Amino acid sequence: MKKWILCFCCLALMMSGCTKSQPEQTLDFAQFHGAWASKDIELVRTAKFSLIFYRIDDVITSVLYRTDVEGNFVTFNPRAMAQFDNSDGSIALKAKYLLEGEDVIIRHNDEILPNLNKRQCRVESFLDKLFIKSGDDTLEELDTKTQTLKIRLSDGLWHTLQLIESLDVTEPYDMRREVTKMNLGECIQLWQLGSSFWKDGNGAFWAFHLGTNKHLYTFTMNKGFLYCRAARIRSNSNGSVFSQNIRLVGRGDELDIGFIGYMDEDNLAKAGTDVIIDDSKFDATCGIAYDVDIYWSLKSIEDNLIRLNGCDQEYVRTPAELDSPFMLEWIVYVPYSE
């Protein structure tokens, strides 16, 4: 009996020593990257940013976060929030500088909005699930087998999102291509990839753009213009089809002109479906809108430059430079059919 007790104690000490010597496993936050959607929500997440749109009753809200990851900790730092109320056509806006500082620099009817306070969270795992927690509160639950993401919104309820597009963030790479009619669609898609930003002289107004292989997102604030959008896009040798499933717009100094607070009735069904291109709808002389689908036709091809006919304007597509001061992240190209 004493031998058994001695053996058990030695085994327990060995196991205890092994447990203490093993470092904590760093979980892969990249599994949360991608575009996710439900009937009333769309979320796109990269290594550095999260942009969410959600609808509760008549109100559609968009929030842009910086996401700072260190080990198993992630800090969500809200940089801008816009709320569009379809019941009365009102807009509320609150924003900071995109990349630095914590002072709110833009306010409009913001008394109804929560404070833009950053929140440090922890990533934990159990079996096939990853969790994002703040203290004892679980904010997100990712099922890595079914590729479903549960999140909790301001209504206090859980909402389930489906992965509609995966994405991989990578190091900067050379996007330059010799453009021909044959590879036009590939070049347009390649050159839209990544997260980027624009700002005015002092940064008081700025625009954030995020392009994936199948979607285009933005949170744009110019003087007298607010534009938050989620859209699908697909390109071929004739040009691009641009299809907005979420479009939030306000114009004028008081953002009270041209109010648009649109999200497709079933956002998952729209955002999660591939764009079907009807080549007969391209017009070689101009861009044409067919409801929410806009056909931008090819105007001309030059060296590392593509011109497209938009609606009453021209769009220019060029590859990002490796040292571009405007590029924040680079995303891996994946052919649309895959």
Q: Does the pLDDT at position 116 exceed 90? A: yes
Taking residues 137-143, report their average pLDDT. 97
Domain residues for 78? 29-165
Span 220-245, pLDDT tens digits: 998 889 999 999 999 999 999 999 99
Euclidean distance between CA atoms 245 and 40, whole angstroms: 11
Question: Is residue 235 one of the residues assigned to a domain?
Answer: yes
Question: Is residue 20 one of the residues assigned to a domain?
Answer: no
Question: Is residue 310 one of the residues assigned to a domain?
Answer: yes
Taking residues 139-157, report their average pLDDT. 95
Q: Does the pLDDT at position 15 exceed 50? A: no
Residues 109 and 147 in one domain: yes
Question: Is residue 19 one of the residues assigned to a domain?
Answer: no
Handedness of CA 76, 81, 86, 87 (dihedral sign): positive
Residue 338 banded pLDDT, cuts 50, 70, 90: low
Taking residues 19-34, report their average pLDDT. 72
**Which comes out higher in pLDDT, residue 7 or 116?**
116
Residues 139 and 79 in one domain: yes
Number of domains forming the structure of the chain = 2
Residues 153 and 227 in one domain: no
Residues 219 and 75 in one domain: no
Residues 48 and 98 in one domain: yes
CB 305 within 8 A of CB 299: no
Q: What is the pLDDT of residue 7?
A: 37
Span 289-337, pLDDT tens digits: 998 899 999 999 998 999 999 988 999 999 999 999 999 999 999 999 8
87: left (phi over 0), alpha (psi -120 to 50) or beta: alpha
Taking residues 38-67, report their average pLDDT. 98
Q: What is the pLDDT of residue 216?
A: 98
Question: Is residue 14 one of the residues assigned to a domain?
Answer: no
- Mark which of 108, 135, 165 sits at the end of a domain: 165
Euclidean distance between CA atoms 259 and 225, whole angstroms: 11
Residues 177 and 144 in one domain: no
Residues 134 and 260 in one domain: no
Residues 193 and 66 in one domain: no
Residue 24 banded pLDDT, cuts 50, 70, 90: low
Q: What is the pLDDT of residue 17?
A: 41
Within 10 Å of residue 181's Cβ, how many Cβ atoms? 10
Question: Is residue 337 one of the residues assigned to a domain?
Answer: no
Q: Does the pLDDT at position 21 exceed 60? A: no
Q: What is the pLDDT of residue 27?
A: 79
Q: Does the pLDDT at position 20 exceed 90? A: no
- Mark which of 149, 165, 181 sits at the end of a domain: 165
Q: Determine the length of the chain.
A: 338
Question: Is residue 44 one of the residues assigned to a domain?
Answer: yes
Question: Is residue 224 one of the residues assigned to a domain?
Answer: yes
Residues 206 and 325 in one domain: yes
Q: Output the average pLDDT for the chain.
A: 91
Percent of the chain with pLDDT over 70: 92
Q: What is the pLDDT of residue 228?
A: 98
DSSP H stretches of helix in the chain: 2-21, 184-191, 267-271
Distances (CA, A) of 72 to 149, 185, 250: 18, 39, 39
Residues 140 and 237 in one domain: no
Residues 248 and 142 in one domain: no
Q: What is the pLDDT of residue 337?
A: 82
Residues 152 and 239 in one domain: no
- CATH number of the domain to which 143 belongs: 2.40.128
| Token duo for residue 160 | 């389930």
Within 10 Å of residue 335's Cβ, how many Cβ atoms? 9
Percent of the chain with pLDDT over 90: 85
Q: What is the pLDDT of residue 204?
A: 78
- Mark which of 111, 139, 165 sits at the end of a domain: 165
Q: Does the pLDDT at position 189 exceed 80? A: yes
Span 194-211, pLDDT tens digits: 999 999 877 778 999 999
